[in-house]
Structures are given as structure tokens and as C-alpha cells.
Amino acid sequence: MQPEQAEQFAALWTAAQPTIAGFIRTLVPDYLQADEVLQRVAVTLVRKYDQYDPQRPFGAWAIGVAKYEVLYYRRERATDKHLFGDDIVEQIAGRYEVLAEDVDPIREALRHCLEQLKGRSKRVIDLRYRQGFKSQAIAEEMALSSGAVRMLLCRVRETLRRCIENCVGRDDRYTASG
Amino acid sequence: MDHVQQLISGFLDGELSDAQAEQLSAALEADGASVDQLVFQSYIHAQMLEWLGHQSLRRQATPGAYKLPSRAGRPRPGIRQAKSGFRPRMAVAAAVLIVAGVISLAYYLATRPTVVGQLTQATGPRWARSEPAISVGSLLEDGQDLALEQGTALITLVSGAQLWLEGPTSLRLVSPKEVHLHDGQIAAKVPTTARGFTVTSPLARFIDLGTEFTLKLEAEKSFELHVFEGLVELRLDERFGNSAQQPVRVAEVRALTFAVESGEVAVKQFEEGKQMPF
């Protein structure tokens, strides 16, 4: 890879990485294993970068590559119990490829919607994501039961989804469901 | 609350029982809308981990924690396997080096801090202990703290925004479009491409709407804002109650001041001499 290509790749990878990480973590829930797959994807993308067509969105191309890495990883660990079957993996990959084509409006909306969170909603998101706490630890911090924390997290995620829906338009394929 | 939403939320947190996991799997197979929900929620989950969990994750990220498993056994179509003993040692060593190089590059790309800007000018600067030491030309990374004890410095961010620092000033570079000012005086010149550039501080958040402004902050006490061009939106921290409810938009050739003691934003006489020499 030429230095100029390496710079282009680094810029594209940096922008697409959260989307690819989201896809992989959906299918490989263990955090360390998901990071391992993410690195494999990065290696494969570096190797295959000369095959990338710049007319296509990089994220969608990268998700296509990531899908095969995830499937290969699952086959390597055939004895592990997998939550989703291969057909669901295909469906999720297909949706992610479409999502990856234009994530900027969703990302911007999410940033705005996070700023709108107040009180307990803001607190629970801070504890979950900034501090990396699980429900039990959040429950202790907020003097709630862990069941109430799980319900609160679910509600806040739904609030964020609706807020993003309002920001980017109701006809969006991912935000209109539910 | 939709049961599938609850299952997806629990799934994202890794807190589903086996029975709940099976219910989620069945729901996904039965209904494409559930797959859409899962995809959308998992994307925003990953994005929030990226934004909010960035610092703590970086602290945990050590090279030793990431080891790629052996790829032995993986079919390599198109590559004929050489017979053992016939492969020259140099070729094996070169192959190992190439693979190690690619893996290192991938690891580096996956975990490296992002460069957000560069120190482009400095006059008589004295920096507080900084690791690594910075000088004109140094690349600056996200999450990097800068403490200029004296002198001035100009930082050019990847977004195109430029920041003048006048010591003593301390701040953190959050991203190409965001800095957190702890204390001190800065000036920002923001091109339209970097519209939305934000300065956060303990007292308020300043969102640039295409402009040039100076900001003098005395941590936990007061700030003074001069807008030379364009528009700045100011949002006080939530703790200031009613004053924080409505953002204040400050137009060019206007100045505002705020003191924690009064809890109110007040108009101040505009001082042209506060403009920095961009």
C-alpha cells in the first residue's frame, strides 16, 4: 500500500469503524472476541484495499468484508453456541450495509439527542457508557433495583430512537420501526 | 414497553438469560422489523461506546491484550503449499515480517488515537509538563491535554478551525470540532466547513455558527465572550437553572459576560482590541 493510499485508508477506516464495530458486536457479543474480529477485518481490508471501488461507500464495502470474517469466525468456533443463525446474520449484514451508506445524519442526530437527555436519563447513560457499568452497579449508584435500571436503559434507548427519528425524518427505514 | 425492545436492550448490555436469547432469536426470524430495530439500536450503542467510552476503553487497550489467534487451518485458495524443508528461511522470515507488519498496522489503525490538529505557531511558550513534549509542528491527538503556562500558541485543527491560546490556559482537545476549556483565554476562527465547532467549559457550552470569537474563562467563576464575526450560541450549564433553559445567540460585534455569583448573562461593551491576530 502506497503512503497516499494508507492515508486515504486511515481516514475511511476511522469514519467507518464505529459502524463496523456495531455490526460485529451485534453478532459477536463477547467484547474481546468482537475486538479480535474487528482487527481481522482491518487486516483483510488493508489487504483488499486495492480492490475497493471508491465510487461505492467504504462502510458498505467494509461491512461486506466483515460479514465473511464474522461467518468464518463463527465456523472456527462451531462448538460455541451462537445466538443467531446464518440467515439472520445475512439479514443483519444487509441492513448494516444500507445503514453504512449514510450514517452521518443519524450520527449528528444522536449527538443532538444525547445533549437533550436530562436527569435520570442522562445519568443512566453516563453510568452505562462513560463509566462502563453493568445494570447491577448502576442500580447501586442510583438506588434502584437492577430490573428498574434495565427498564430505564430500554426507555432511554427508545427515547433516543424517537428523537433521532424526529431529526432525520420519519420515512427513514431504520428509525421508523417500532 | 415493547417486549422485543426490552430483549434488544438486554442483548446490547449482555444481560439476557438463555430463554430470553432464544425469544429474541425467534422474534428476529419471525419479523424483519425486529431486525431493523436491532440493527439501529446496536449502531447507536456502538456509537455511544465510541464517543462516551472512548477514554476508558483506551486506558484498557494494551497491545498485549490483543492477540490474533492462529490462522492455521484456514483454506488459502490459490496458494500452493511448499513442501516442508524446501522453503528458504529468508522467505519464511519475510512472510512472517509482512504478516506481522499488516497485523501491527491493523492494530495501530484500530486503536491509535486520532490526530485532531497540529501546533502551528508559538511565541515564547512554556508548557506545563507534557508527555510527549510538544513544539511547533507537533501533531495533537484527541483526548490530549494542553497547559500553556505562558506565551501564545496557534493550533490548527483537522476541521479547519484555528485556536489561539494565550497563557496561562489549559484545555483538552476532544475532537477536530470540539475542545474543553478548563481555564484561560482562547480565540477561535472557524471556517464554514467546521460550523458547529464547540467549546465546552465548566460554566457553559459555546457552539460556533461560522465565526471568530474570543473567550476568557476563569474556572468556576466567570467568562467573557467577544464575537468578532458570525454567530455563537451559548448554553449555560444546567446547574444555573432558568438561565440555562434557553440558549443565547450572540451576534458579531457583541460581547457578553457571566459570573457564577450573579448567575446571569449580561451584555458587555464590545472591545475590538480583544481580537487575536489570526
Burial (CB < 10 A; 0-12, 13-18, 19+), residue A63, is buried
The three grid cell numbers given for residue A92, joined into one nine-digit string = 443483519
Provide the CB-side half-sphere exposure for B98 (13 A, CA): 9
CA-wise closest residue to B31 among B8, B10, B15: B8
Q: Which residues pair with B257 in a beta bridge?
A: B224, B266
Handedness of CA A15, A95, A125, B21 (dihedral sign): negative
Provide the 8-state DSSP code for B195. Answer: T
- Classify the C-alpha dihedral B111-B114-B120-B125 as positive or negative: negative
Say which of A18, A87, A173 has its CB closest to residue B36. Answer: A173
Write out chain B residues lying below 8 Å of A106, CB-based. 43-44
Let me know: does A12 contact B24? Beta carbons within 8 Å: no
Q: Which chain B positions have a beta carbon within 8 Å of A134's beta carbon?
A: 13-15
Q: Which of A28, A43, A96, A102 to mutate to test the interface with B (most CBs of B within 10 A)?
A: A43
* A160 in contact with chain B, both atoms CB, cutoff 8 A: yes
- CA-based nearest residue to A23, from B256, B41, B89: B41
Contact assessment for residue B270 and residue B226, using Cβ atoms and an 8 Å cutoff: yes
Strand B222-229 relative to strand B212-218, pairing: antiparallel
Task: With beta carbons under 8 A apart, name residues in chain B contacting A84.
Answer: 25, 28
In this predicted structure, what is the pLDDT of residue B214? 93
- Give the model's pLDDT for residue A82: 63
Contact (CB<8Å) A160/B25? no
Q: HSE (CB half, 13 Å, CA atoms) of A3? A: 0
**Residue B106 in contact with partner chain A when CB distance is under 8 A:** yes
B69 versus A75: which is more confidently predicted? A75
A25 with B107: Cβ contact below 8 A: no
What's the Cα-to-Cα distance from A137 to each of A131, A143, A145, B45, B57, rounded to whole Å? Answer: 10, 10, 10, 19, 18
Could you give the C-alpha distances from A93 to A9, A145, B8, in angstroms and in order? 22, 35, 17
Burial B229-254 (b: 16+ CB within 10 A, else e): ebbbbbbbeeebeebeeeeeebeeeb
With a cut of 50, list the residues of chain B below it in pLDDT: 54-95
The per-residue pLDDT for range A89-145, each reduced to its tens digit, is 889 999 999 888 878 889 889 999 999 999 999 999 999 998 888 899 999 999 999
B95 touches chain A (CB under 8 A): no
Beta-carbon separation of A158 and B106 below 8 A: no
* Model confidence band, residue A158 (pLDDT cutoffs 50, 70, 90): very high
pLDDT at A20: 92
Residues 214-253 of B with CB under 8 A from A: 238
Residue of B nearest to A84 (CA): B25
pLDDT score, position B69: 30
A40 in B contact zone (CB under 8 Å): yes
Shortest CA gap A6–chain B (Å): 10
Rounded Cα gap, residues B50 and B45, in angstroms: 9
Contact between B45 and A87 using a beta-carbon 8 Å cutoff = no
pTM: 0.51
Strands B254-259 and B222-229 turn out to be antiparallel
DSSP-based three-state secondary structure for A132: coil
Calculate how close chain A gets to B115, using CA atoms only, in Å: 11
3-state secondary structure at position B272: helix
Tell me what ipTM this predicted complex has.
0.87
Contact status, residue A16 vs residue A58, Cβ threshold 8 Å: yes
